Amino acid sequence: MSEKEKMINGEEYFPQDIELAQERIKAKTICAKYNSLLPEQKDEKYKILKSLLGKIGDDCIVEQNFFCDYGYNIEFDGFVYINHNSVFLDCAKISIGHGTFIGPNCGFYTPTHPLEYEKRITGIESAKPITIGKGVWIGGNVTILPGVKIGDRAVIGAGSVVTKDIPSDVVAVGNPCKIIKEIS
Protein backbone atom coordinates (compact mmCIF):
# COMPACT_ATOMS: atom_id res chain seq x y z
CA MET A 1 0.00 0.00 0.00
CA SER A 2 1.37 3.44 -0.91
CA GLU A 3 1.85 6.21 1.64
CA LYS A 4 -0.93 8.15 -0.11
CA GLU A 5 -3.32 5.19 0.26
CA LYS A 6 -2.38 4.93 3.94
CA MET A 7 -3.04 8.67 4.39
CA ILE A 8 -6.43 8.48 2.66
CA ASN A 9 -7.38 5.42 4.76
CA GLY A 10 -6.56 7.15 8.06
CA GLU A 11 -3.56 4.93 8.78
CA GLU A 12 -0.09 6.03 9.84
CA TYR A 13 1.90 7.28 6.86
CA PHE A 14 5.15 9.03 6.05
CA PRO A 15 4.31 12.52 4.69
CA GLN A 16 7.79 13.03 3.20
CA ASP A 17 7.11 10.25 0.70
CA ILE A 18 8.05 11.46 -2.79
CA GLU A 19 4.51 11.17 -4.21
CA LEU A 20 2.96 13.11 -1.30
CA ALA A 21 5.72 15.73 -1.30
CA GLN A 22 5.21 16.33 -5.03
CA GLU A 23 1.44 16.60 -4.58
CA ARG A 24 1.91 19.20 -1.81
CA ILE A 25 4.26 21.22 -4.04
CA LYS A 26 1.69 21.08 -6.84
CA ALA A 27 -1.15 22.21 -4.54
CA LYS A 28 0.94 25.00 -3.01
CA THR A 29 1.93 26.19 -6.48
CA ILE A 30 -1.73 26.29 -7.51
CA CYS A 31 -2.59 28.16 -4.28
CA ALA A 32 0.17 30.70 -5.01
CA LYS A 33 -1.27 31.27 -8.48
CA TYR A 34 -4.78 31.60 -7.02
CA ASN A 35 -3.60 34.05 -4.36
CA SER A 36 -1.90 36.24 -6.99
CA LEU A 37 -5.09 36.84 -9.01
CA LEU A 38 -6.93 40.14 -8.84
CA PRO A 39 -10.32 40.22 -7.06
CA GLU A 40 -12.19 40.85 -10.32
CA GLN A 41 -10.72 37.70 -11.94
CA LYS A 42 -13.63 35.60 -10.67
CA ASP A 43 -13.78 33.17 -13.60
CA GLU A 44 -10.05 32.41 -13.39
CA LYS A 45 -10.28 31.96 -9.61
CA TYR A 46 -13.16 29.51 -9.96
CA LYS A 47 -11.35 27.49 -12.65
CA ILE A 48 -8.29 27.19 -10.43
CA LEU A 49 -10.35 26.07 -7.42
CA LYS A 50 -12.26 23.58 -9.58
CA SER A 51 -8.95 22.06 -10.72
CA LEU A 52 -7.56 21.94 -7.16
CA LEU A 53 -10.43 20.86 -4.91
CA GLY A 54 -12.18 17.51 -4.71
CA LYS A 55 -15.58 19.20 -4.98
CA ILE A 56 -16.76 22.80 -5.22
CA GLY A 57 -20.23 24.28 -5.61
CA ASP A 58 -20.94 26.74 -8.41
CA ASP A 59 -21.39 29.75 -6.14
CA CYS A 60 -18.54 29.24 -3.67
CA ILE A 61 -16.50 32.26 -2.66
CA VAL A 62 -12.99 31.67 -1.35
CA GLU A 63 -11.23 34.91 -0.53
CA GLN A 64 -7.49 35.14 -0.89
CA ASN A 65 -5.22 34.07 0.65
CA PHE A 66 -6.15 30.40 0.57
CA PHE A 67 -3.73 27.62 1.51
CA CYS A 68 -4.01 23.82 1.47
CA ASP A 69 -1.79 20.74 1.44
CA TYR A 70 -3.41 18.67 -1.33
CA GLY A 71 -6.76 20.14 -2.35
CA TYR A 72 -8.32 16.88 -3.51
CA ASN A 73 -9.42 16.08 0.06
CA ILE A 74 -11.50 19.29 0.33
CA GLU A 75 -15.20 19.23 -0.57
CA PHE A 76 -17.53 22.23 -0.57
CA ASP A 77 -21.15 21.09 -0.95
CA GLY A 78 -22.97 23.91 -2.69
CA PHE A 79 -22.51 27.54 -1.67
CA VAL A 80 -19.73 28.09 0.89
CA TYR A 81 -18.13 31.43 1.81
CA ILE A 82 -14.56 31.38 3.12
CA ASN A 83 -13.01 34.65 4.23
CA HIS A 84 -9.35 35.69 3.94
CA ASN A 85 -6.30 33.69 5.09
CA SER A 86 -7.77 30.22 5.48
CA VAL A 87 -5.53 27.18 5.98
CA PHE A 88 -6.74 23.67 5.13
CA LEU A 89 -4.30 20.91 6.10
CA ASP A 90 -6.26 18.31 4.17
CA CYS A 91 -4.37 15.07 4.76
CA ALA A 92 -7.82 13.60 5.44
CA LYS A 93 -11.14 14.70 3.98
CA ILE A 94 -12.49 18.14 4.93
CA SER A 95 -16.19 18.40 4.03
CA ILE A 96 -18.11 21.65 4.37
CA GLY A 97 -21.88 21.80 3.92
CA HIS A 98 -23.99 24.16 1.84
CA GLY A 99 -24.67 27.62 3.24
CA THR A 100 -21.67 27.69 5.57
CA PHE A 101 -19.81 30.93 6.32
CA ILE A 102 -16.22 30.84 7.56
CA GLY A 103 -14.54 33.92 9.01
CA PRO A 104 -10.99 35.13 8.33
CA ASN A 105 -7.85 33.40 9.59
CA CYS A 106 -9.46 30.01 10.20
CA GLY A 107 -7.54 26.75 10.24
CA PHE A 108 -8.76 23.22 9.53
CA TYR A 109 -6.11 20.73 10.65
CA THR A 110 -6.57 17.01 9.90
CA PRO A 111 -3.05 15.65 10.59
CA THR A 112 -2.08 14.36 13.99
CA HIS A 113 1.28 13.24 15.33
CA PRO A 114 2.26 10.52 17.81
CA LEU A 115 2.50 11.57 21.44
CA GLU A 116 5.55 9.37 21.99
CA TYR A 117 8.72 11.33 21.23
CA GLU A 118 10.61 8.39 19.69
CA LYS A 119 7.82 7.68 17.24
CA ARG A 120 7.10 11.36 16.54
CA ILE A 121 10.67 12.16 15.44
CA THR A 122 10.48 9.49 12.75
CA GLY A 123 8.14 11.87 10.90
CA ILE A 124 5.22 9.47 10.82
CA GLU A 125 1.72 10.91 11.18
CA SER A 126 -1.94 10.07 10.64
CA ALA A 127 -4.99 12.16 9.81
CA LYS A 128 -8.64 12.31 10.81
CA PRO A 129 -11.41 13.90 8.73
CA ILE A 130 -13.22 17.13 9.58
CA THR A 131 -16.93 17.46 8.75
CA ILE A 132 -18.80 20.77 8.88
CA GLY A 133 -22.58 20.60 8.46
CA LYS A 134 -24.93 22.81 6.48
CA GLY A 135 -25.63 26.42 7.40
CA VAL A 136 -22.78 26.68 9.91
CA TRP A 137 -21.20 30.01 10.86
CA ILE A 138 -17.58 29.86 11.98
CA GLY A 139 -16.20 33.14 13.36
CA GLY A 140 -12.75 34.55 12.69
CA ASN A 141 -9.55 32.97 14.03
CA VAL A 142 -11.15 29.59 14.73
CA THR A 143 -9.04 26.42 14.79
CA ILE A 144 -10.69 23.08 14.07
CA LEU A 145 -8.71 20.00 15.07
CA PRO A 146 -8.53 16.48 13.58
CA GLY A 147 -11.63 14.31 13.65
CA VAL A 148 -14.09 17.07 14.60
CA LYS A 149 -17.69 17.13 13.34
CA ILE A 150 -19.78 20.28 13.58
CA GLY A 151 -23.54 19.85 13.18
CA ASP A 152 -25.91 21.77 10.93
CA ARG A 153 -26.62 25.42 11.72
CA ALA A 154 -24.12 25.56 14.60
CA VAL A 155 -22.34 28.84 15.39
CA ILE A 156 -18.70 28.72 16.48
CA GLY A 157 -17.54 31.91 18.19
CA ALA A 158 -14.47 33.83 17.06
CA GLY A 159 -11.16 32.64 18.48
CA SER A 160 -12.46 29.20 19.43
CA VAL A 161 -10.39 26.02 19.33
CA VAL A 162 -12.71 23.15 18.42
CA THR A 163 -11.30 19.94 19.91
CA LYS A 164 -14.50 17.83 20.07
CA ASP A 165 -17.70 17.37 18.10
CA ILE A 166 -20.30 20.15 18.27
CA PRO A 167 -23.96 19.20 17.67
CA SER A 168 -26.45 20.97 15.43
CA ASP A 169 -28.28 24.16 16.43
CA VAL A 170 -25.96 25.40 19.19
CA VAL A 171 -23.64 28.31 19.85
CA ALA A 172 -20.22 27.15 21.04
CA VAL A 173 -17.20 29.25 22.00
CA GLY A 174 -13.87 29.13 23.76
CA ASN A 175 -10.66 27.19 24.11
CA PRO A 176 -11.57 24.43 24.26
CA CYS A 177 -14.82 25.19 22.45
CA LYS A 178 -17.91 24.49 24.57
CA ILE A 179 -21.63 24.85 24.02
CA ILE A 180 -23.04 28.00 25.64
CA LYS A 181 -26.61 27.89 24.33
CA GLU A 182 -29.03 26.17 22.02
CA ILE A 183 -30.44 27.90 18.95
CA SER A 184 -34.21 27.53 18.60
The CATH number assigned to the domain holding 124 equals 2.160.10.10
**CA atoms within 13 Å, Cβ hemisphere of 63:** 12
Residue 148: is its pLDDT beyond 90?
yes
Residue 171: is its pLDDT beyond 90?
yes
**Which range of residues forms the domain containing residue 88?**
3-182
Q: Which member of 55, 84, 98, 113 is catalytic?
A: 113
Prediction pTM value: 0.96
CA pair distance 43, 73, nearest whole angstrom:
22
The yes-or-no answer on residue 113 being catalytic is yes
Q: Closest Cα to residue 95, out of 127, 59, 132, 62?
A: 132
Report the side by side order of strands in the sheet with 66-68: 66-68, 86-89, 107-109, 143-144, 161-162
**What total number of domains does the chain contain?**
1
CA pair distance 77, 96, nearest whole angstrom:
6
What's the pLDDT tens digit per position in 73-108? 999 999 999 999 999 999 999 999 999 999 999 999
Phi, psi angles (nearest 5°) of residue 95: -115, 130
